[in-house]
Structure 1
Amino acid sequence: MASIPDDKAPQLGLTIYGAGVVNPYKVVIMAEELGIQYKYVNLDMSKGEATSDWFVGSINPNGKVPAIVHTKEDGTSVTVFESAACLLYLSHEFDKENKFSYAVGTSEYWTQLSWLSWQISGYGPMLGQAAHFNRYTPEPVPYGVWRYTAEARRLHSVLEKRLSTSPYVGGDHLGVADFAVFIYAHSAKWCGVNIEEWPHVQAWHDALLQRPAFQRALKVPALYPFSDTAVSDPENQDFYLGVRKWGTQGIKAMTESWKGEAVSLPSDHANYE
């Protein structure tokens, strides 16, 4: 197993592994809200550091960010990957008073967990697909644009209904579900939708954006590049042209070795007739 470079090795306490992409910001937001001291290791995605032998071998076998390592005073450590698992770990270890969660086993806890699961299973992946087909495909794919933009809009309507009756996504106070959902709502235009169509979502987003911890977190490791304001700035479009070209090339390169024909079935192509 390759050894971890000294400058990227976990330190005593909390170490967050991330990059200037969407999901790591969730974890930094929660760490900032909790006032946790942490070391942030910014992986260079253009150099493939997330898929390097040391990272895959020691930190995250899936080769993605975020991941965290919590090194305790007794020398033991816990490594956690996937954003929701990281949020739940921070809640368990650093939020004993349930400031941003609820007591495990209560109905409120399960409601919060349901909304967190909604984000990681639906809201995030579907907005990610919308962003892919709207911003990253090397050629137009009209069906993909239609399908995932429509689903992104449907999911925003679900969130709108929730926030019309609840002050926060997970319940009656700010919590892990809000941290998870916020960063995608903050990236809505990049994914092809405008949250101004959903006034409760817009108001909730804008209120969270005013929180000092959110403002600090959105600068780690650099100012978050996919906010609605940033991607709409006409003076900064050269940057996003580069992001789209790099993203297209990077996605193709990462998946090239895994390409293959779909397993055929007798019913194939019936839906085309």
Structure 2
Amino acid sequence: MAAIELYTWPTPNGHKIHIMLEELGLAYNVHAVDIGAGDQFKPAFLKISPNNKIPAMVDPDGPDGQPIALMESGAMLVYLAEKTGRFMPADRRGRTEVMSWLMFQMAGVGPMLGQVHHFRHYAPEPLPYAIERYTNEATRLYRVLDQRLATSAYLGGGEYGIADIATFPWIRSWEKQGQDLAAHPHLQRWFEAIAARPAVERGLRVLSDRSRSQPITAQERDILFGARQRDRGR
């Protein structure tokens, strides 16, 4: 089986696919897409990911034996689960539960926690209303997760799966989101169990030397949040 070509950066969405590929034991080649430097606007990358977002990947062994390009981390997780028959229940009820919690991450946890990070750490000036709004929404989402995990070992049910892989990287930065993980004991139990998985540890090491350690610069802010996003680098 030919190696998957993965285009990524060490962000929560990138880590989803790093973890999934490590859990599956599939061969993959990492292509760093430095989103702070504007690599996501390069024509070659836009052919794979038209929305100029990481991660993206090319599987040389697509469903029909031909290469297939994928964008959107949730779609990539579903594709890899279906390709391998792992981390997704085979029965319709189980699959539906997993998909519900995967969509909860894609539509709620990711976007809202992304806004928390933006307004608490990346906005050019503090906006108290936005900080309060998104921090409170993050707390609400943490409560939803905690309530689910009070009655279920994992988000999708009794077994670890793609809904957990999708959500875990976003919870890693709970302190930066203004949250207290200990206030959500069921979520904390789940988080610690997943963090201890060897494949998760390996996935989090992908491009770890490129993780942000310095405050965002004005140039990076413009690339990530300014006009470049609207004109797609033209």
TM-score by length of 2: 0.90
> Is the counterpart of residue 245 in structure 1 residue 231 in structure 2?
no
Q: Return the alpha-carbon distance in structure 2 between the equivalents of residues 111 and 100 of structure 1.
A: 12
**2:180 corresponds to which of 190, 194, 207:** 194
Q: Return the alpha-carbon distance in structure 2 between the equivalents of residues 32 and 51 of structure 1.
A: 27
8 A contact 2:82–2:88 mirrored in 1: no
Q: Return the alpha-carbon distance in structure 2 between the equivalents of residues 205 and 215 of structure 1.
A: 13
Equivalent position of 2:75 in the other structure: 85
CA distance 1:92–1:186, change in 2 (3 Å)? same
8 A contact 1:218–1:224 mirrored in 2: no
> Is the counterpart of residue 153 in structure 1 residue 177 in structure 2?
no
8 A contact 1:87–1:176 mirrored in 2: yes
Equivalent position of 1:101 in the other structure: 88
Shift of 1:253: 3.9
Larger radius of gyration: 1
* Alignment map for 1:1-273 (pairs within 5 Å): 12-56=2-46, 58-72=47-61, 76-94=66-84, 96=85, 99-103=86-90, 106-222=92-208, 225=211, 239=213, 242=214, 244-246=215-217, 249-257=219-227
CA distance 1:124–1:255, change in 2 (3 Å)? closer
| Aligned-residue CA RMSD (Å) | 2.2
Q: Return the alpha-carbon distance in structure 2 between the equivalents of residues 22 and 139 of structure 1.
A: 24
Taking only the aligned residue pairs, the percentage that are identical comes to: 37
Paired residue type of 1:41: H
8 A contact 1:163–1:200 mirrored in 2: yes
Aligned residues: 229
CA distance 1:253–1:100, change in 2 (3 Å)? closer
Secondary structure class of the residue paired with 2:140: helix
Q: Return the alpha-carbon distance in structure 1 between the equivalents of residues 10 and 20 of structure 2.
A: 16
Higher relative contact order (CA 8 A, sep 6+): 2
Shift of 1:258: 7.4
Q: Return the alpha-carbon distance in structure 1 between the equivalents of residues 11 and 132 of structure 2.
A: 24
Q: Which runs of 5+ in 2 are unaligned?
A: none
8 A contact 1:131–1:192 mirrored in 2: no
Secondary structure class of the residue paired with 2:206: coil
**Alignment deviations for residues 27-51 of structure 1 (CA, whole Å, 9 cap, x no partner):** 1111111111111111122331111
Q: Return the alpha-carbon distance in structure 1 between the equivalents of residues 132 and 67 of structure 2.
A: 45
